[in-house]
Copies of this chain bind each other. A is one copy, B any other.
Amino acid sequence: MTVSEKSLANAIRALSMDAVQAANSGHPGMPMGMADVATVLFKDYLKFDPKAPKWADRDRFVLSAGHGSMLIYSLLHLTGYARPTIEDIANFRQLGSPCAGHPENFELAGVEATTGPLGSGLATAVGMAIAERHLNAQFGDDLVDHRTWVLAGDGCLMEGINHEAIGLAGHLNLGRLIVLWDDNKITIDGAVDLSSSEDVRARYAATGWHVVSCDGHDMADVRRAIDEALADPRPSLIACATKIGYGAPNKAGTSGVHGSALGEAEVAAAREFLGWSAEPFVIPEDIAAAWHAIGAKGGDAHVAWADRLGSNAQRAEFERRMAGDLPAGFSLDAYIDTLIANPQKVATRKASELTLGAINDLLPETLGGSADLTGSNNTKTKSTGPLTKDDYSGRYVYYGIREFGMACAMNGMALHGGVIPYGGTFLVFSDYMRAGIRLAALQQIRAIHVLTHDSIGLGEDGPTHQPIEHVMSLRMIPNLDVYRPADIVETAECWELALKDADGPSVLALTRQNLPQLRTEKAGENLSAKGAYRLKAATAERKVVLVATGSEVEIAVATAALLEEQGIGADVVSMPSWAHFDAQPQAYKDDLLPHHVLRASIEAGTTFGWERYVGIAGLRFGIDTFGASAPAEVLYDHFGLTAAKIAPQIVAALD
């Protein structure tokens, strides 16, 4: 090709600086600084086919430094993806354009992960790389044989999540993961050495990574470094020495070029410096053609792969799994019937383990794990042997004490496709990985969090380990389904719902302590799917409706019994999911929680928010302080969450 590589890279630079300038908002520094590296990667290494962005065996490219979104928008456009169009790019950061401030997987097919919160992209890529090796072990080289590439900045490396992510990647020896580090020595506040004195290379090496450096503006040197990374069996960090904002003659190399438009004068100066005379959003024909040729080169590989898939005995199963479809007829009905027939008193974490036993036998795509609380979260079942660097076919990841890393890895697995990740920790430690759970919700992916020890019911570990506000605060994350089942049957129902929702993450909040089985009759449907249902109808004239979740449903039932002894009719409503309940028809909601009847909520957590269902005049039993260290039953009494303490207050309120 007669077009120089520098010209190819300058097309990225021009689009980036012009789009940011047009929006008067955005981050030109990274795309301009890393344009050369990205050009080499897309031209000579990345396996992709713009005509088939969802090709299962494509390489994954994750822009962890998501603020540099114009880099990926430029690349997708130049290589011939259907979107973004040049108009999309000209509308960078405007309502309706898929070219959002940060790259979003739900806006553009070529964006593999939604990034921006620093460090999370690289950690997500670790999950993609795990999924790739896992599926390779299950389906073979013919179907699954690709790499995961990451472009990361100093912020991604300084965040704590980086330690967790590279620790996991190093431990699992994910040699097909290659991180291109934009080593530009600049952060927002100024030089990196304003806040860090770390030897990044040595840290990566200490964590089991291969490390190589290159001049990020010397295409040949970039190739040398990538070739070295490809040859090494370990995951690789390629330190690319770059000048941030390369091409902007007066501002490059400073933090000023990181997150602001260059300004008309500097854009003009950059055009001069780069020898780029085209108007904004115009790519000279020869350069456009050269980029399109780069985009077209993956077509043959894709065709060859499709041929192999066509003759592969596992084709149907592979396609089902990559589509994210559950096996036809998947249902836990039969399992739930056996539960109904044999009532048992178990903690819902144990109920989850039993249910997972059934699920993991039915669904080969589940890939479980725990952040070093396997025996407490009850996340491991007999079908799930460990996934290790020597055997990627295992279905259980020992994530280590890395909650946030786990959440992001799960996101990467789900984004990669072919697996359904679930992972466990204590509910209180959802705080450690909240940003990862939120990203799952935003990215509309199926990642299932098994969060046990979900209240003061964990007992003696005390307030540092007792969730108070956690269930409620998770309920308010958009597109996250939070389930708090009351017994083993509801636990199975909630698991089924979590699995069947392919477009969003779920949290299962589960108890440490044993709970009686409250559901002992066949319902003929998944009652938890309604979010709430009448578990017990008043036998005397109904004076109160008790609505409770999880372990407190048992208490509501006991409270109702005390009240009915006094002739006070009491319904008990179990509400495993607020979100599902809110989606029911108004008539159903009014029937369950009628406004003219006293309503009382019981949940061993904050009472904040329960006004929605019990009204301002309702009673809200819960805990609005931190917990305490004592045996569970002592704490329930201490915090007033017993039938003996609740019933009199309801009687008083009715007077």
The CA of A308 and the CA of B41, in the complex, are separated in Å by 65
The CA of A530 and the CA of B18, in the complex, are separated in Å by 49
Inter-chain contact A478/B102, CB cutoff 8 Å: no
A198 to chain B, nearest CB (A): 5
Q: Which residues of B contact A526 (CB under 8 A)?
A: none
Q: Scan A142-180; emit 1 where CB is below 8 A from any B CB, else 0.
A: 000000000000110011111110011011000000000
Number of copies: 2
Q: Which residues of B contact A372 (CB under 8 A)?
A: 155, 187-189, 195
Q: Scan A14-39; emit 1 where CB is below 8 A from any B CB, else 0.
A: 00000000010110000000000000
Out of B154, B160, B608, which one reaches A164, CB within 8 Å?
Answer: B160
By CB atoms of chain B within 10 A, which of A94, A159, A460, A464 has the most? A464
Out of B95, B160, B475, B628, which one reaches A163, CB within 8 Å?
Answer: B160
Q: Which residues of B contact A629 (CB under 8 A)?
A: 93-95, 97, 100-102
A650 to chain B, nearest CB (A): 20
**Could you say which of A113-121, A273-281, A282-290 contacts chain B?**
A113-121
Out of B168, B441, B464, which one reaches A102, CB within 8 Å?
Answer: B464
Q: Which residues of B contact A442 (CB under 8 A)?
A: 463-464, 626
The CA of A631 and the CA of B197, in the complex, are separated in Å by 37
Interface hits, A600-633 → B, CB 8 Å:
606, 608-609, 611-612, 615-616, 624-626, 628-631
- With known contacts A102-B629, A429-B117, A461-B116, A171–B189 Cβ distance under 8 A: no
By CB atoms of chain B within 10 A, which of A155, A187, A476 has the most? A476
Residue of B nearest to A165 (CB): B160
Inter-chain contact A464/B167, CB cutoff 8 Å: no
Inter-chain contact B465/A476, CB cutoff 8 Å: no
Interface hits, A79-132 → B, CB 8 Å:
93-95, 97, 100-102, 104, 114-119
Say yes or no for A400: interface residue by CB 8 A criterion.
yes
Q: Which residues of B contact A101 (CB under 8 A)?
A: 460-462, 464-465, 629
Inter-chain contact A198/B188, CB cutoff 8 Å: no
Residue of B nearest to A194 (CB): B398
**Could you say which of A205-213, A357-365, A538-546 contacts chain B?**
A205-213
Inter-chain contact A100/B167, CB cutoff 8 Å: no
Inter-chain contact B155/A171, CB cutoff 8 Å: no
Say yes or no for A431: interface residue by CB 8 A criterion.
yes
Inter-chain contact A638/B402, CB cutoff 8 Å: no
Out of B203, B205, B375, B476, which one reaches A207, CB within 8 Å?
Answer: B203
Q: Which residues of B contact A461 (CB under 8 A)?
A: 101-102, 116
Q: Which residues of B contact A401 (CB under 8 A)?
A: 118-119, 154-155, 158-159, 187, 195
Q: Which residues of B contact A344 (CB under 8 A)?
A: none
Shortest beta-carbon contacts, A-B, top 9: A160-B160, A195-B400, A163-B163, A116-B464, A202-B206, A100-B629, A95-B630, A101-B462, A473-B473
A-B contact pairs, 27 of them (CB 8 A): A25-B459, A26-B460, A93-B630, A94-B629, A97-B629, A100-B629, A101-B462, A102-B464, A116-B462, A117-B428, A158-B401, A187-B372, A188-B376, A189-B372, A189-B373, A195-B400, A197-B207, A198-B206, A199-B207, A432-B435, A439-B464, A469-B477, A473-B476, A479-B625, A595-B616, A609-B609, A616-B616
Chain A residues packing against B (C-beta within 8 Å): 23, 25-26, 66, 93-95, 97, 100-102, 104, 114-119, 154-155, 158-164, 167-168, 170-171, 187-190, 194-203, 205-208, 370, 372-376, 386, 398-405, 428-429, 431-432, 434-435, 438-439, 441-442, 459-465, 468-469, 472-473, 475-479, 595, 606, 608-609, 611-612, 615-616, 624-626, 628-631, 634-635, 638
